[in-house]
Structure 1
Amino acid sequence: MESKEIEIGDLKYLEEDLTGEEIVSIVFILYGAEKPKWILEKLENNDNKGNFLEEYAKTHVNWKLIIIEALAVTQIFECIKNLGVPISEAREFVRKSHLINSGIKLLYELCESLTQDISDKLINFIKDECNFATIRNVDQLEIFLLHAIVNGKIKIASTLDACDFSMIHNFKTTINVTDQKILEVLEKFPSKPNTLDNSNDSNFNNSSENFMRPNSVEQIQVAMSNTLLGNYSTKKMCVLIINQQNFVRTTNADLQKMLPDHNLTERKGTIKDREALQSLFESFNYHVTTKNDLTHIEVLREVDKITKQSSEYDGLIVCVLSHGHEQIFYGSDSVPIFIRDVKEIMSSKLLLHKPKILLIQACQGTSLQRSVRRIVPSTENDGPSTSSLISGSTRADFLIFWSTIEGFASVRHIDQGSWFIQELVKRIRETYRTTNLLDICTAVIREVSLRRGYRDECMLPKLESTFTQNFRFPTD
């Protein structure tokens, strides 16, 4: 799908063509999973002309495609035509695209399917659930759904199955629905959230207030410290290290629209991270494979290859060192790779009940977190400038450790390597004989969060885990 070239500054004119209701729908889709509290306050203050699209574009690499998808989902086809995109192509793009959170898209589909009578009943149901009497000057269902998200009555996660829509199911039991279209939409809401996936609404909210929550790490620690859980076998692990240092822009015309707005710079210092990880895992006699400067296709091919190889081992560790943005990292051809696609490949039945670890040293945004000044050497950031008879969930026994939370850059020393990888390797070497991996990761989060750059940079790594046993590195 191609569109005529538009600049971020053009978006304010596009927004001027939208009605107040259309703006509410668009920002609900764009920000509902990411910053629900912030956007709710804006909308309730009647700030319906707040240059929302322009602000969104400034913080998202793939903003053009995402905004086109949002316009197509809300069926604002006139604006799509103004962007030079044929409506038929926009419809097909929405059918295949996963750029917008699936839980938010489903909630919007519900808004569109409900009759006015049932919509009013849902609004009143949300009012009762959220314990407030009135909302100022608003009556659009999307506003009330934002209240439900902010109050934790609806929890949005990175995948539809991991979302918690218990409130929607509870509401369904209070009404008598005969309309087939409404029934079909209601049936799409998963009834049982995936409790092993620690993703929740705070994973998408960029406010510092929510990011300072421990993300259930304490609960994970307590559970995993229980010796009754047992330990994974970890003597023979397969390790893949993907080190992206140099970047070019692909000349493939079909991929041009996916490229970041700016050329990706050389990642100075990444060799230190690669060497530290390789030395660490080789010290455990793990099978280590290192690949440098892979294109997006080569990355997925190598992950698939190592996943199949690791079926003969105790588990799999994949380390990604690259530039990145929200939920993606880049191939050496500057084409983005969705982290969920890597996780999907690793979640193979060949590795059922075996530990799968994904370490990601890459930015998840462009903003730098700031704190108290402390003089240290110069830093950069990693952003854009076989069948089985056993059963179980392939989503279990997975750990993802991100160098930073969504929306923020990841700090890397140009000579000594990244804060995250260097601290992780140091902690494992010092404590692996007495400490399990989850406790090590928690210590890394604390230590990295206390570091400061010469321009007040700070970082907060993020841990996601569905481990069902303790992971301990071999001690002999």
Structure 2
Amino acid sequence: MERRKLMKISEALNSSEVAALCFLCRDFVNWKYLEGVEDAKVLFNRLEERDHLNTEFLRELLRTIQRIDLLSLLKTNRQGVEETDGNPIDKLSNYRVMLYNIYNETTKENLQKMKFLLSDKTGRRQMDECKTALDIFVKLEKMNLLSQSNLHRLHSVLIELDQPLALTVQQFKQGTGASLQPVSPPPARLLSGFQHYNSPLLSRSEPPTTHEGGHFSSDEETNNQPSSLSDQTEYYQMNHNPHGLCVIINNEEFLGMELKKRRGTQADLNALYPLFTKFGFLVNVHSNLTAEEIRRELNGVATRDFSEDDALVVCVLSHGENGCVYGTDEKKVSLRELTQPFTSGLAPTLAGKPKLFFIQACQGGGFQTGTLQCPPNPRGLDEDRGNQMEADAGPIRGVTVPSDADFLLGMATVPECKSFRNTNTGSIYIQELCKQLKRSAESPRDDDILSVLTRVNREVSKEEYLYHKQMPEPKYTLTKTLVLKFVD
């Protein structure tokens, strides 16, 4: 588009109108790139970088904020019609336009009442920071308290404040709300991140189909009337409280002669339990299970109705070898046996939802080595600490990786190699995982799980353990970005 026209439009917009445009564009530009934007020129640059700046889309934005007077600047003849090699013509979502209309009709008195009624869920300080209803909506979305499929809280508040606006939300929920344009989000983008060379990312290219109830019922179906790129295409929704189950299997004592007691594993349990509780999961702990008991427990969990869950987490802390973990009876359970009960065919209410498996166990008897000779006293490992290091290995003997979508397998080590555990402070991998997940949850940035695991890889691989290296390995078939934040 002509920069001169964009400059004129930018100069004609006041700060509240720019804020409204930023809110309406949250489906097309990640929120962190819109934070603090007060100049429309900056917004236009953000849209242009992502191939979303075209005449028709800008016209729709200006019509929505009722700046019809600026449309004359966008007049063009047929020879001047713009084309783009990027996404199809973008449309504002019904959901976001509805929220903008509510903002437009909210009086100052009702704004204060809205902040008061919501403060019990968000905290008073969070609401005090909000100057407009748009600020409130943004805050609620960041806290997973508001989305197209999660309008209950907003609707309840509006019933108290403004019946016509509450009716607007009700009509939208029933699908009768509007003459507004339906959503036409850009096509799915593959996640940027790392993937194991044996674990290709499975993506969905089928068009979305409507499904009453708003939850996934099979891998091919998606939410009815997706509200935004971030909700529908890029991000897993984490709207329920609790988010779902976190199952921890903690094997410390072993019944035979070959596998030693896993001293220090209680420290891992003590790190995982409160962390995933704060993430909003119901945490179930099972200690010292045989191989058959592990299978029976996970098969039992798989019969759960996950319709009201957002995700599943399974942590297994045990001895292991290539492609398996050990029960306390020193019998093997393959990684495939851990994940298979939760594939979409066997657990259909988990289809389209992230399933996270974190495995603290050796995957062989080999040792990782660095490219440089280890110094006599390796960095980060004094003599006493060296005496406290053990390996979660079993008798030495390929790896099965889940081929279905939406799985993440966080392995403490690569195949054929040992992982290490401090007999006092816990395993190297689980402790670093909990540290980085906590850091991410407390950060104002929305770091996704793959970014977190990259940091875990980096930090674990820096150190030396019993004069050897350890290299964790994530394997995944996630199809969206997953962000874990603490639940108030």
TM-score category (smaller protein): 0.3 to 0.5
Q: TM-score, normalised by structure 2?
A: 0.46
Higher-helix-fraction structure = 1
Q: Which has the larger radius of gyration?
A: 2
